[in-house]
A and B are shown apart, each in its own frame.
Chain A
Amino acid sequence: MKNKTEHKKSHNGKGFLCLVLHAHLPYVRHPECDYMLEENWLYEALTETYIPLLSMFENLIADKVPFRITMSLTPTLCTMLTDVLLQERYSAHLKRSIELGEKELERTKNDPDFHATAAMYLDKLNICRRTFDDSYNGNILDGFKYFQNAGALEIITCGATHGYLPNMQCNPEAVRAQIVTAVNSYERFLGCKPQGIWLPECGFYPGLEEFLYEAGIRYFFTETHGILFADPKPQHGVFAPVLCQKAPVAAFGRDTESSRSVWSSKEGYPGHPLYRDFYRDIGFDLDMDYIAPYIDPIGLRIHTGFKYYRITGQTDHKEPYRRNEALAIAAEHAGNFLYNRTKQAEYLSSIMDRPPIIVAPYDAELFGHWWYEGPEWLNFLIRKAAFEQEAITLITPSEYLDTFKSNQVCEPSFSSWGEGGYSEVWLDKSNDWIYRHIHRMEIKMTECATAYFNAEGLVKRTLNQMARELLLAESSDWAFIMKNGTMVDYAVRRTKEHIANFLRLYNDLKKDCIDGNFVSLLESHNNIFPEIDFRVYKSHNDGTP
């Protein structure tokens, strides 16, 4: 593996490619239940995305393939990955999946259309189990940390609970708390300060950079129009970072072309007919007697991960999945992606005074979970970038900033990567009711953090738990789910629970009748951010330092 200096010296191509994977899940942990459907989000992402990505990184290192990937691991995800309860539950989930895999191998043994696929699933699940239980002893965050220390990954942080910051701007202390808590959490998990941040939902508003700078963040990413509509207009568009006006924090803009080729449901690679279909799953297709032990215990059919068909086309009729054919297409798509980036860089470098940086950010869960062959596509892309061309070099934002220290100063505009490009997703008829409560909580939190600044003992614990409840209520995921219309009951319940918990703690605090049992229960249940200090919410406008 090359170190950073060697990496810079070796670049003599036309431009840089900055691959960014945003790994995030909302904080879902239910010790009060043996089974909670929503905890499957983590288990599915572990099996299909996080562990396959780690395996891929391991193989790249073993094969001495140089690579640079920027990856955001949100504080909620890091907390869940290191939580003993969830680790044990995932381990049990994996055992059940392997048991199902063995049954599937038997069930399909005389069916050539499906048997090879069943064997593939079982093989992958066994690799998962070995990676999870044996290699990392249940804590795969250690794996990501290893690759960061090896110089291959640049792990960045995110908002503490993925709160959508533009909708908090009326309460700057709440914005600050999301960022400072995230930075502190990162330091606890990874042992150093983050260089960059993935703004939740890529949500930026002018002035946000001041909070980032205050927290020691060097850079963030915006949606394309966040840079293109900047003031003054950026000379290089999204192909070079800009430094914000109010604080010297760099903003990298998302490249439209590279995004579209992966994200677009019409033009994007993941929609190819030979790739595996996501929706056909034996959880829905097989007899209840057979599948019952592997779905929701109340009998609700769910995805099991065993899917035997390819996308085929826009038809209900699906053809059997052929792994080798799918991998061949993934390699082809990786080559196509790289070729297009090469041409893009060649053109851009001819009109720019420096090599362009092409920023390609994606949800990490796209790779493997939604797009089953995504990790293989990424694997092919990295290997081709290393050995089959010289025009493009993989780079991380901090490496770019170390190399190109002088950048244009301008103010990016309000933007997000949601549908419509602004706040349309998180501020909608379906979810706008939450802000009345969340803003109220934020004001009360600041009021209490200022009034009880020197609190100790149970009062301090109460205030810290209030901060946790507020942060959890702010998760953009709840508003997103309400807007999308799936699992709405859960999102509404979670939002209301955190609001109610907070208000109860607040009222008890004000009446000087704190219930220690209730505080303890909440500390146990919503146990995120053990290091939190409620004072982060203190008002900065009261004249005190």
Chain B
Amino acid sequence: MSQINEHLTATANPSMHQAAGTSTVSSLKTHQPVQPVSGIVFEKEFFDEVSTTSNPDAELSLHTPDEYHAEKTGFACESLSEADSLSQKNPSAGPRYSFSTEIPETYDDFYLCVLPRDPKTLYVYWELPDGTRSPEHNFQEQAPSKEQLVLRIKGQTVENNEAHISSCYDVPIQMNVADSYVHVPTGASQCSVECGIVNELGCFRPYSPQINSYDQSGEAVHFHTGEEIVNRQPPDNYCTESAPVSVGTAFMRPVANSYSTSDTKNGTVPLVRSVDLPVVKLDTEHYFGSATPI
């Protein structure tokens, strides 16, 4: 504790005090005891500044540093050497605190997003629930003759207000990959991307994961591992390219992962809910314009 106090003194920094800079700060300075915090080093004036310089409506809820826990806050101040901080030649003695840069690699629910990169390329990324990633659902490890999780890219042309699939191809989804750049089918005036499963007969059915479902309090009430996905037989109309295609849909929102009260029957949240597959469509002709300018 005493070492930290000494350190606090050593790292006192004039420009930070200037940064506070407003007369409103001074009236609060004497009210906060300077207390070192485990794992974090702050200056007294810094806390004063934090509590007063930002939001004018902010409540002055700052606690004493003793109430502050580095583990809880997720940020920590890097200690400065005394030599550095006292050095007149080196005013840059390093940061007094730094923020966490820890972010999750993925998010555990189903999500498919398509962004147009250029007229020929789309960027697709997806999220799959953890259940889908378990070995028994790792499509990639199954025999090629069985089922394969794929991205299906459909190019469509529109004639007489009717959409016709002009080309279609699948991009197999590798379980250790979560994004891909895919080509827009040549000559397509519209393009759609969907995620689905191709079985040994070549039939395609949309991937319809049993996602995490939440009640309004945010508690998880059910999680289905998704075994049904493999065993379920696809409906006839999802087989191959004859799937009905709606025209003119722009980008679709990702699948909702929460329930509203309207989703419940008799006040209870259903245990399992199938969600519609998001098909992301792009009207390429309208979006990118004609390739032959005037």
Contacts and interface: CB of A to CB of B under 8 A. Distances in A.
Nearest to A411: B286
B267 interface: no
B44 to A, nearest CB: 14
A518 B67 CA distance: 12
Contacts of B57: 461
Contacts of A297: 89-92
A422 B54 contact: no
Interface in A427-450: 427, 432, 435-437, 439-440, 443, 447
Contact of B290 (A36, A169, A233, A237): A233
Contacts of A435: 113, 115, 123, 125
Interface stretch (A97-105, A261-269, A386-394, A493-501): A493-501
A524 B21 CA distance: 13
B55 A432 contact: no
Interface stretch (A25-33, A114-122, A305-313, A314-322): A25-33
Contacts of B114: 170
Contact of B18 (A88, A229, A497, A520): A88
10 contacts: A31-B19, A33-B94, A34-B93, A85-B18, A89-B15, A207-B250, A231-B286, A293-B89, A520-B58, A520-B61
A257 to B, nearest CB: 15
A292 interface: yes
Contact of A517 (B68, B116, B258): B68
Nearest to A167: B115
Interface in B47-81: 49-51, 53-59, 61-63, 67-68, 72-75
A112 interface: no
Interface in B90-119: 90-104, 106-107, 113-119
Contact of B95 (A32, A166, A413): A32
Contact of B287 (A206, A458, A499): A206
Interface string A464-505: 100000000000000000000000000001001101110110
Contacts of B135: none
Interface in A402-424: 411-414, 420-424
A230 interface: yes
Given A500-B100, A515-B73, A422 B50 contact: no
Contacts of A207: 250
Contacts of B13: 34
A518 B73 contact: yes
B223 interface: no
A427 B59 CA distance: 40
Interface of A: 30-36, 84-85, 88-89, 166-167, 169-171, 205-207, 225, 228-231, 233-234, 237, 292-293, 296-298, 411-414, 420-424, 427, 432, 435-437, 439-440, 443, 447, 457-458, 461, 464, 493, 496-497, 499-501, 503-504, 510, 515-521, 523-525, 527, 530
B55 A530 contact: yes
Contacts of B91: 34-35, 297
Contacts of A440: 107
Contact of B103 (A225, A422, A499, A524): A499
B93 A497 contact: no
B288 interface: yes
B97 to A, nearest CB: 5
B287 A422 contact: no
Contacts of A412: 289
Nearest to A296: B92
Contact of B113 (A206, A411, A420, A439): A439
A516 B116 contact: no
Of A440, A499, A527, most buried by chain B (CB within 10 Å of CB) is: A440
B9 to A, nearest CB: 17
Output the residue of B96, B254, B293 with the most chain A CB within 10 A.
Answer: B293
Nearest to B13: A34
Nearest to B85: A34
A20 B15 CA distance: 37
Contacts of A499: 103
B55 A436 contact: no
Contacts of A170: 113-115, 251, 253-254
Given A228-B293, A516-B62, 5 more contacts: A169-B251, A233-B294, A413-B288, A500-B74, A521-B75
Contacts of A501: 99-100
Contacts of B117: 422-424, 427
B115 A427 contact: yes
Contact of A461 (B21, B49, B55, B101): B55
Contacts of B119: 422
Contacts of A447: 258
B178 interface: yes
Contacts of B118: 420-424
Interface string B243-266: 000000011011000100000000
A461 B58 contact: yes
